[in-house]
Amino acid sequence: GAGVSQTPSNKVTEKGKYVELRCDPISGHTALYWYRQSLGQGPEFLIYFQGTGAADDSGLPNDRFFAVRPEGSVSTLKIQRTERGDSAVYLCASSLTGPWSNTGELFFGEGSRLTVL
């Protein structure tokens, strides 16, 4: 399909383990975003890439969280030493351009649900 693809759709892990979540953006989209959504709340911004570089990582909660986008397309969100509080749906989005264009439309994937036991 032509949409944003996220894998895995579900991930169950144990406390202390390492986790990688993958995002395939829409082809040609230069901007890529990671959000985290806890149950009953709106999505919370984590990090934004423009091309290969992280233009804004102010939303990453601590140094256990890291994201890369080495070739300016696929991105991987990496979580070290997972904690139960990391359990959430991790959403990826992409947009055609960035920084700002007034089309402003972000295309979201369906998310990766992470459960830390």
Residue of 91, 88, 84, 72 lying closest to 3 (CA atoms): 91
By the rule CB under 8 A, 7 interacts with other proteins? no
- Rounded least distance, CB 96 to other proteins, Å: 10
Site map (CB under 8 A) of other proteins, residues 27-56, x = contact: ----x-x-x-----xxxxx--x-x----xx
By the rule CB under 8 A, 24 interacts with other proteins? no
Positive or negative, the CA dihedral 22, 25, 29, 32 is: negative
By the rule CB under 8 A, 61 interacts with other proteins? no
CA-only gyration radius of the chain, Å:
13
By the rule CB under 8 A, 25 interacts with other proteins? no
- Rounded least distance, CB 81 to other proteins, Å: 27
> What CA–CA distance (Å, rounded) separates 46 from 60?
5
- Rounded least distance, CB 71 to other proteins, Å: 21
DSSP labels for 67-115?
A: EE-TTSS-EEEEE-S--GGG-EEEEEEEESS-S--TT---EE---EEEE
Comparison of 9 and 80: residue with beta carbon closer to other proteins: 9
Residues of this chain that interact with other proteins (CB under 8 A) are 4, 31, 33, 35, 41-45, 48, 50, 55-56, 91, 93, 95, 98-102, 104-111
